[in-house]
Homo-oligomer: A and B are copies of this chain.
Amino acid sequence: MERRGLLYIVSAPSGTGKTTLCKQIVHIVPNLWHSVSCTTRQPRPGEEHGREYFFIDDRTFQEMIERQEFVEWARVYGHWYGTPRKAIADKLDQGVDVLLEIDTQGAAQIKKKFQDGIYIYILPPSLKALRTRLQMRAGDSAEEIARRLKKAREEVWSYREYYYIVRNDDLKQSLKELESIFIAERIKTKRLDIGWLEANFILDKEDKEGESP
């Protein structure tokens, strides 16, 4: 039996450090591919087309919706975000695990279709800590920070929809927890390769005779 890839979905209130964690975890966990989403928002300083996002214009985004090229899409803070379908399906078919870094709206859409996905929520240590982080991040206006914080306050409670909670207090500890989720999910009994089991634990006649006392 060919192994099919697992789908890991990671969400977090804005400013929680989700992007940093997701960028690093793919270097720690083997056989894991980080899906790149499309967005109509402007790149932030340091972001690169095709790495953090595919930065596309509104018209291209609408055309992709019409051609059903997104597995989910949503409007967040006045911009469109969408997850391209084909690349993900290809990776899963190849037996590669896929990491989706998406917002709570997107995750809710995915969850309707993929109950078997592994849903992970990142929380900041506290709302106070989150405010400090948003204020320190470059490129956002005071108004945008206030808007994000208000939204984060509501989004925290989406945690119920996820299977695991990572409290992102210390980066190293959070990476260790994320890695543990990825490893533990892969060795769940329901994912065991029965072909491997049969090949190694069903003896042929010769083996059996060698074992008799």
* Chain A contact residues, CB within 8 Å of chain B: 121, 123, 125-128, 131, 142-143, 146-147, 149-150, 153, 156-157, 159-160, 162-166, 176-177, 179-185, 187-189, 192, 197, 200-201, 203, 207, 210-213
Contacts and interface: CB of A to CB of B under 8 A. Distances in A.
Contact of A164 (B160, B177, B188, B213): B188
A188 B163 contact: yes
Given A164-B187, A184-B184, A189-B121, A213 B126 contact: no
Copies in the complex: 2
Nearest to A131: B211
Given A128-B200, A153-B203, A164-B184, 6 more contacts: A127-B200, A128-B207, A146-B212, A159-B197, A166-B187, A180-B183
Nearest to A183: B180
A contact patch SS: helix
A11 to B, nearest CB: 12
A202 B121 CA distance: 18
B189 A164 contact: yes
